Structure 1
Amino acid sequence: MSDKDYVKEKHDADASVRVATADQKYYDPSQESIWTRLGLNARSYTRAPGLTDQGVTHGQANEDAEGRPASANILQKKMKPRHLQMIAVGGSIGTGLFVGTGSALRNGGPAGVLIAWSLIGLMLINVTQALGEMAILYPVSGGFYTLTERMVDSSFAFAMGWNYVFQWAVVLPLEITVAGTTVQYWTGESVPIGAWITIFFAVIVIAAMFGTLGFAEEEFWSSCLKLSVVIIFIITGIICISGGGPARGAYSEYTGGAKWQNPGGFANGFKGVCAVFVTAAFSFAGTELVGLAASETPNPRESMPGAVKGTFWRITIIYISSLTIIGLMIPYTEPRLLGGSGAAASPFVIAMLDAGLNGMDHLINATICISVLSIGLSCVYAGSRTLTALAETGYAPKMFTYVDRAGRPLYSVLFILAFAPIAYVNVADVGSTVFDWLLALSGLSTLFTWGAICMTHIRFRAAWKAQGHSVRELPFKALGGVYGSWFGVILIVLVIVAQFYIALWPIGGMDPDGMAVAEGFFKTFLALPILITFYIIGLIWKRKLPYRAMDIDLDTGRKSWLTVEEMDAYHAERRLAPWHIRLYRTLFTSS
């Protein structure tokens, strides 16, 4: 029997199994009352009847080829295409862009900032393309973690899954604290920071009660605000640089690229560029959430391609354009950038204050406040969904598989929320020291996550080819293919090497006694030994070696079963559309 005949026979056998399971009765969350689905009554907190009650184990497909439920995970499919689009385009815009770019500009200069953000952005385009290719074909609970567990290695997935959970668990109290310091831009210290922490903690808890729908709606509207404000800033910045600013401000005359001449484009040469990379990565953290959201979207095939392609537009229009404006308006020697961590140190706020545009600084500050709350809710969403997936695959206590009738992984949400009170350490004198070390736990976590996605895609493509499949069968193909994923892995390794270099030879020179250098080194690389420790624990626990390409499961949870001929016919039909529709599909939606 040829490989092609074997694949066809296996496809027919699997199809018969899917038809047989169609006769089973499934729990339909849409039949619950609106109050239950919104999580606003007592019934919503009871466990949703899953397929485990009918003998089907966790980890199976979220839907079969005909779209019937086929998973023990009853996470409700409440996300609409508009939600997914905004999560991809504006979901991760927060303190990394609005505030973190201040320290990046100080260390790397405007040229260093553009180089770092452009390279990280190019790598991230490949990461999201690879994730989109797999998530559309396998819209499984747990996103990239579940795919890594299947395609690469159980021990590696165990390490990456817990790394991802703790990354968001640690970022949550940080974001709550930043929200409090942002409000102090208006109130000063007349209201204690502890009071603001309590208020913002309560807001996140209330929003989390609404489950997926609460997260999706909050992300949609907050992303609309963030995108609108950044676009207003870009347009305003162009006018100011061209000399159209108010007479009372610093931009009543044309300035152009003067600040690239004096003080210059690079703040600390090559070392300065290296120092900016992690800040750039932090500003993009959360982009991979579209992969998690795919399992809670009714039709990932229709909504995911547009969300994935939206990453390109976000990077080019939002990040690169706004950072170019910042570099043209603010010199890296600006003293207000030094040592600042709150809204007052935001280059966006500083630029508008210098321009003499009264009220713009308050609008940007309010946007920063909403942004950090948005990222805080993303922490709860991403951490809880990944923890539930860990439990489903046996790498976390089984209690975390509990999903209630409102579609919330209840115990997983409570676990992540339990980290929020750590924010109160900022009330004590040692608060900043404690926070520095907590952040060190997730210092390189974002890069590790993206590297895991690239490696998973490489293994998926190897298995797809080894088992007789063609890339023409894929409903969505990553733009850079497997080469884009290799580019991502190589660039991530280079960034980690650059951080090693900066940790040992920091900007400003060596400390006489070496203590500051040693402390900075461990803060930078603390996440690496923790990741290795988790991998060793997973290896000893499960005693599983990396999978061979021929042994990788490509069928469980697979959404599309179309043959090469059927996919060719589908694309041929779409090529008959008018040119302007084809162009729109290429740029913004599915191809």
Structure 2
Amino acid sequence: MDHGAESELQRRLSSRHVTMIALGSSIGMGLWLGSGTSLRDGGPAALLIGYALSATMVWSVSQSIGEMAIMYPLPSAYVQWTNKFVDPAVGFALGWCYWFSWWIIIANELAGLVTVLGFWDGTSAIPTGGWIAIFLAVLVLVNICAVNYFAETEVVFAAIKFGWIFVIIITMIVISAGGAPKGDAIGFKYWNSTHGFTNGFKGFIDIMPTCIFAMSGSEACGLVAAETENPRKSVPKAINSIWIRLGLFYLVGSLMITITVDPYNANLFGGSGTNASPFVIAYKEAGLEPLAHIMNFIIFISVLSTGSISGYSGARTLVGLSEIGMAPKQMKRADSMGRPWWALVPTLVIGGGLAFLNVDQTGVTVFTWFSNLTSLVTLFGWAMICFSHIRMRHAWKVQGRSVEELPWKTWTFPVAAWWGLTWCVILVIAEFYLSVWPFDEASSAKNFFANFVSIVAGVVIWLCARLYYYLTERSGWWVDSRSIDLDEGRRFYSPEQVEDVENTVVLILADRPGCYSNGQYTVPYLWIGSDGSTGLD
């Protein structure tokens, strides 16, 4: 079976593009707005623990992505890895469910843009449908640019997000300490008044879909590897930067709002106000109106950026499906500038069309629907990335190949892969429990399917595909590790590309340490000693 070795997509992206897309790909509506819903429903401790658990999963998944994306940089990445190492039927179900999730995210981010605008007076003069149409046009324009121009746009967005998080940390510590124009010292008052949880353990489980949704898209660095000049150089840099996003944005960022915002504030997104981010509320109630407006603008461009990346990712998922015969062959075509029109147009049209659901519903209602659906598909995807990594290593072993042959290997295997896979399974079971016995309403078939339909649909698609492959190829439940062609779809690196990695110069801000290793190579380094001496070794 063809696993998609070649593509009409072009390798226009550099290490800088991949690293910045990895940093900013999942910083959007889930963090800036969804954290308000989670703070209200779960409480300060639940929010922080939820992000911490999700962060360990993302970090584990990223390690699996790094090892596979360097050796098999394919357009739909994890879909084609699942198809190759696990089972074509599972790959088929994952691919179409993931495409479904990408246009769900597009719709959610477009709805989020309208919600963010509601903070400013006068924006209601244009109806919700009008704003959605305007923002959809912007997403289309960004995505129809050449791939490198799209990447440059995302680099700018990511840089703005990354720079602003330091402003958030400093100013919110000042607010919590009582140094703002309005309000007394807060400290951990809201932790003490709620004992960390507003609705106990069930409330904590209830906010996990929002935490997962906030981090969905983190796997985008696996998709862009197919359009990267040298994945062996760029992907490890992107993977190694994951901890910055997880630590600064999610863990420190969520801690900042727990020490500045009351979980029972009526203006929180998800409360009676339904239009305010907890970050904006913190500034506004502290008497820092200018910072509140700047914060809202940062949220606006963050949500726009995430929507743009979702259009990119959805189109590349279709390209990958087409390459392995699981979607119409026209969808793998790209023009001379690397734009896959046949895959891009349906992704943006369907995702944009769904956004208009926000016209007749409140933003928080649409957000809850879409985040629950997306988080379950995300868990499915993360689980298959980890499982594909486990199966790839197994195939590598049973076929007598040495791990040293891998162009890049993670030191975390197999612990990280099994950790990510296990928690994905546990959280899917937890979401099934909440779909049957909801957090704040009676059990009903309507509620079950509204929250769990993506898994139901995935299972149905998988069973139908499994039956097809059994009847046509007499294949078993998964592929035989001994029969996997480990060289099909593999990127082989030229001596120049290897040298490009090995000759990386590293800055060591310390006395001469003797040698430096980046985990794969011993590389030259520029050292600066405590006595002011310098040198290049």
For normalisation by structure 1, the TM-score amounts to 0.80
Match runs of 1:324-339 below 5 Å = 324-337=255-268, 339=270
Q: 8 Å contact 2:40–2:264 — kept in the other structure?
A: yes
The SS at the match of 2:456 is: helix
Corresponding residue for residue 302 of structure 1: 233
**1:572 & 1:170 partners in 2: Cα distance?**
43
Q: Once the 2 structures are TM-superposed, how far is the Cα of residue 440 of structure 1 from its aligned partner?
A: 5.7
The SS at the match of 1:460 is: helix
Corresponding residue for residue 533 of structure 2: none
The correspondence for 1:265, drawn from 188, 196, 199, is: 196
Match runs of 1:452-467 below 5 Å = 452-467=384-399
Corresponding residue for residue 110 of structure 2: 176
Q: Which has the larger radius of gyration?
A: 1
**1:497-527 deviation per Cα after TM superposition (whole angstroms, max 9, x unaligned):** 222233333334x53xx44xx4322222111
Q: Once the 2 structures are TM-superposed, how far is the Cα of residue 466 of structure 1 from its aligned partner?
A: 0.7
**1:99 & 1:390 partners in 2: Cα distance?**
33
Indicate whether 1:250 and 2:183 are aligned: yes
| Structure 2 CA distance for partners of 1:385 and 1:429, relative to 1, 3 Å | closer
Corresponding residue for residue 108 of structure 1: 42
The farther-off stretch of 493-502 and 91-100 is 493-502
**1:547-573 deviation per Cα after TM superposition (whole angstroms, max 9, x unaligned):** 1111112112323579xxxx9xx9999
Match runs of 1:182-201 below 5 Å = 182-186=116-120, 187-201=122-136
**1:49-105 deviation per Cα after TM superposition (whole angstroms, max 9, x unaligned):** xxxxxxxx97453xxxxxxxxx2x121111111111111112110010000001111
**1:107 & 1:529 partners in 2: Cα distance?**
26
Q: 8 Å contact 1:116–1:280 — kept in the other structure?
A: yes
| Structure 2 CA distance for partners of 1:284 and 1:202, relative to 1, 3 Å | same
**1:429 & 1:479 partners in 2: Cα distance?**
47
The correspondence for 2:316, drawn from 385, 409, 417, is: 385
Q: 8 Å contact 1:148–1:456 — kept in the other structure?
A: yes
Match runs of 1:442-453 below 5 Å = 442-453=374-385
Q: Once the 2 structures are TM-superposed, how far is the Cα of residue 409 of structure 1 from its aligned partner?
A: 1.0
Indicate whether 1:372 and 2:284 are aligned: no
Match runs of 1:418-567 below 5 Å = 418-419=349-350, 420-428=352-360, 441-508=373-440, 511=442, 514-515=443-444, 518-543=445-470, 544-545=475-476, 546-560=478-492
For normalisation by structure 2, the TM-score amounts to 0.88
Corresponding residue for residue 122 of structure 1: 56
**1:343 & 1:432 partners in 2: Cα distance?**
6
Q: Once the 2 structures are TM-superposed, how far is the Cα of residue 122 of structure 1 from its aligned partner?
A: 0.6
Q: 8 Å contact 2:46–2:196 — kept in the other structure?
A: yes
**1:525 & 1:585 partners in 2: Cα distance?**
43
**1:457 & 1:273 partners in 2: Cα distance?**
30
| Structure 2 CA distance for partners of 1:433 and 1:389, relative to 1, 3 Å | same
Unaligned runs of 5+ in 2: 525-537
**1:185 & 1:580 partners in 2: Cα distance?**
53
Corresponding residue for residue 159 of structure 1: 93
Indicate whether 1:238 and 2:173 are aligned: yes
The farther-off stretch of 427-436 and 463-472 is 427-436
**2:312 & 2:73 partners in 1: Cα distance?**
17
**1:460-492 deviation per Cα after TM superposition (whole angstroms, max 9, x unaligned):** 010011111222222222232022111111111
**2:200 & 2:523 partners in 1: Cα distance?**
42
Corresponding residue for residue 228 of structure 1: 163
Q: 8 Å contact 1:135–1:143 — kept in the other structure?
A: yes
The SS at the match of 1:444 is: helix
**1:504 & 1:159 partners in 2: Cα distance?**
24
| Structure 2 CA distance for partners of 1:111 and 1:144, relative to 1, 3 Å | same
The SS at the match of 1:92 is: coil
Q: Once the 2 structures are TM-superposed, how far is the Cα of residue 263 of structure 1 from its aligned partner?
A: 3.1
Cα RMSD between the aligned structures?
Answer: 3.0
Indicate whether 1:316 and 2:247 are aligned: yes
The farther-off stretch of 237-246 and 413-422 is 237-246
Unaligned runs of 5+ in 1: 1-56, 62-70
The SS at the match of 2:408 is: coil
Indicate whether 1:361 and 2:292 are aligned: yes
Matched residue type, 2:14: K
Identity of aligned residues (%): 37
Q: 8 Å contact 1:476–1:590 — kept in the other structure?
A: no
Match runs of 1:9-88 below 5 Å = 59=3, 61=5, 71=6, 73-88=7-22
**2:518 & 2:308 partners in 1: Cα distance?**
31
The correspondence for 1:217, drawn from 152, 160, 167, is: 152
**1:526 & 1:193 partners in 2: Cα distance?**
27
**2:140 & 2:266 partners in 1: Cα distance?**
38
